[in-house]
Amino acid sequence: MRYIFDLHRTMVAKSLILAYEGEFTQEITKSVLSMAERNLDSLGEESNIKRKVFNVMVECLQNIAKHSDEFPETTLRNSAIFMIGKEEGDYIISTGNPIQKDKVDFLRSKLDEINSLDKDGLKALYKEIIKNGELSDKGGAGLGFVDMARKSGNKLEFGFEPIDSHTDFFMLQTRISRG
């Protein structure tokens, strides 16, 4: 029973507004977005900040829904996480989901490239992807990550934790500054 208290204490300490772990279907995604929007409304957040936060949340949730890998083991299936919190007045949107190890290097290089660019570089990359982006079979060319970096105005924080010899847990965090 102690884990309930520990989890609550962590959520309060991290100023988490919403946390969800599990399956991300279209319906669940809508519900998570709706709950987060209500929480932002109850905090009396300005509409331009709400719009940025909402847009980044949509990209993050779409990323989980579209790009989570299929795993035969039931322990990995439906094990993605989404959290939104506040830190020093900024909103922090965090996600995590298992991915195949063979995708880690590609994903890391894509995110490193995005993080190396300034505002104008991100705009140019966005246009380039729209114009000649090679879409994957799941519809992505890194456009969502570029959009998150552009909308947040900050670098994307990310990491990979090994789960087993074939799988890593991909973590992504986006900060939306209020000022």
Average pLDDT, the chain: 86
Q: Is the pLDDT of residue 77 over 70?
A: no
Residue-level pLDDT at 26: 82
Question: Looking at the 3D structure of the chain, how many domains does it have?
Answer: 1
For residue 25, what pLDDT band results from cuts at 50, 70 and 90? confident
Above 60 in pLDDT, residue 107?
yes
**How many other CB atoms sit within 10 Å of the CB of residue 99?**
19
pLDDT at 138 over 80: no
Read off φ and ψ for residue 90, nearest 5 degrees.
Answer: -85, 150
Q: Shortest CA distance to 154 belongs to which of 37, 33, 56?
A: 56
Q: Check residue 63 and give its pLDDT.
A: 83
Q: Which domain holds residue 10?
A: 2-176
Output 89 or 103, whichever has higher pLDDT: 103
Instruction: Look up the pTM and report it.
Output: 0.87
Percent of the chain with pLDDT strictly greater than 70: 88
3-state secondary structure 107-170: HHHHHHHHHCCCHHHHHHHHHHHHHHCCCCCCCCCCHHHHHHHHHHCCCCEEEEEECCCCEEEE
Give residue 71's pLDDT band: very low, low, confident or very high (50, 70, 90). low
Report, as an integer, the average pLDDT of 138-149. Answer: 79
pLDDT tens, residue by residue, 124-137: 998 988 887 655 54
Mean pLDDT of 73-87: 77
Enumerate residues 6+ apart whose C-beta is below 8 A from 145: 59, 63, 110, 111, 114, 156
- Residue 22: pLDDT band (50, 70, 90) is confident
How far apart, in whole angstroms, are the C-alpha atoms of residue 98 and residue 100?
7
Bigger pLDDT: 62 or 119? 119
CATH code (residue 149): 3.30.565.10
| Residue-level pLDDT at 79 | 80
What does the pLDDT read at residue 76?
57
Residue 76, Ramachandran bin (φ over 0: left; ψ between -120 and 50: alpha; else beta): alpha
On the question of pLDDT at 40 being above 60, the answer is: yes
Encode burial over 116-127: b for 16+ CB neighbours within 10 A, e otherwise.
ebeeeebeebbe
